[in-house]
A = this chain, B = another copy of it.
Amino acid sequence: MHEKYFDHAATTPVDERVLAEMLPYFNEHPGNASSIHHLGKRAEAAVDLARQRVANLLGAEDPYQITFTSGATESNNWVLSRFPIDRIDASPFEHSSVRNFLSYHQCYRGESGLELYAQVLIDNETGAVFCPAEEKKSRGALEVLVDATQGLGKIAFDLEGLDFVSGSAHKIYGPKGVGFLYEANPHLTPMVVGGWQEFGRRSGTLNVPGIVGLGMAAELAREEREVNFAQATELRNIIREELDGIDNLKFNESANQSPFILSVSVLGVEGETIVLDMDQKGFCLSAGSACSSKSTALSPLLLSFGVEPEWIRGTFRISIGKDNSRESSRELGENLRITILNLRNSKKS
């Protein structure tokens, strides 16, 4: 249905199988999971199953390590807000929910020991893959927060050495507005207080259909990870080949790279102009990450890659998903070639 949607790192369409699992919980089984009657118990059981499924995706020992939240942004804020602001540090490549938290709260690295280091698993602009357990060790941090949003169901990763892992359903073909936090050793005090849902860790009436959707999305992501990885690798290569050979174009790639994201920089055209032109042709791309699409700041990661500002301004992101096909990938490449050349020519004339 969404063959020309190449913006899966921003959000994904809900998988029909996920939606089918969610639907009965909107109306047929509408209970509040805290209620003691049969509709409440039914809702609670559905939440329990979802918790187990998320634990399975992560390879967590115990579903009790999973807390449901409204999404990875909340999860990240929750963790960061529980630590002293002079004992947190983060990689320069963090998602805005970590980066902007630190700057907004004027966090600074003090003289005392590092309690929390935040290291994203996969950068959402370039697809660069990091190794948070190693970063934690090399920084001498007591604990590490890993925003795994772009890695869940995409690459295999090991919980060994990780203390907090956050994610969102809507990046793995689940619904928006629901996510989770994994704690290796659950001990965080709550950020949201009220009816003591979620073992007292996160209050508020549970979003039962959303949680059911997250659970099913996690189940499918686990089962289909290898197939999806192989497909993304193939489609990325097709697009790459189509673009290869265009003058003044380069791929922003790291040694350890996710195949789901292809970051491209060109000279002489703005990334946003390319995205808007391609949109006219029905293709959805992104100039940066959706979370920073309204900001004009230059990507710290691209700068660290040594990409120069004039190239960064001509950067766009292709993010591949299971809706995409070989045909639409080839078509994307062909259209991008035409778009870039046309835009360059129109600037000359």
Please list the residues of chain A having a beta carbon within 8 angstroms of any beta carbon in chain B: 1-2, 5, 7, 10-14, 16, 19, 26-28, 30-32, 34-40, 70-74, 76-77, 95-98, 100-101, 104-105, 168, 170, 175-178, 190-196, 203-210, 272, 275-276, 278-279, 284-287, 290-295
Q: Chain B contacts of A194 at CB under 8 A?
A: 73, 76-77, 95-98, 100-101, 291
Q: Is the CB of A204 within 8 A of B70?
A: yes
Kindly provide the distance from the CB of A62 to the nearest chain B CB, expressed in whole angstroms: 21
Q: Chain B contacts of A275 at CB under 8 A?
A: 36-37
Q: Chain B contacts of A177 at CB under 8 A?
A: 70, 177-178, 206-207, 209-210
Q: Is the CB of A290 within 8 A of B205?
A: yes
Number of identical protomers: 2
Main SS at interface, chain A? loop
* Identity of the chain B residue whose Cβ is nearest the Cβ of A195 in the assembled complex: B291
Q: Is the CB of A10 within 8 A of B27?
A: no
Q: Is the CB of A5 within 8 A of B30?
A: yes
Q: Chain B contacts of A39 at CB under 8 A?
A: 5, 7, 284
Q: Chain B contacts of A70 at CB under 8 A?
A: 70, 74, 177, 204, 207
* Identity of the chain B residue whose Cβ is nearest the Cβ of A287 in the assembled complex: B36
What would be 15 A-B contacts, judged by CB atoms less than 8 Å apart? A1-B27, A7-B35, A11-B32, A19-B27, A40-B290, A70-B204, A73-B195, A96-B203, A100-B194, A100-B195, A176-B206, A195-B291, A195-B292, A196-B294, A196-B295
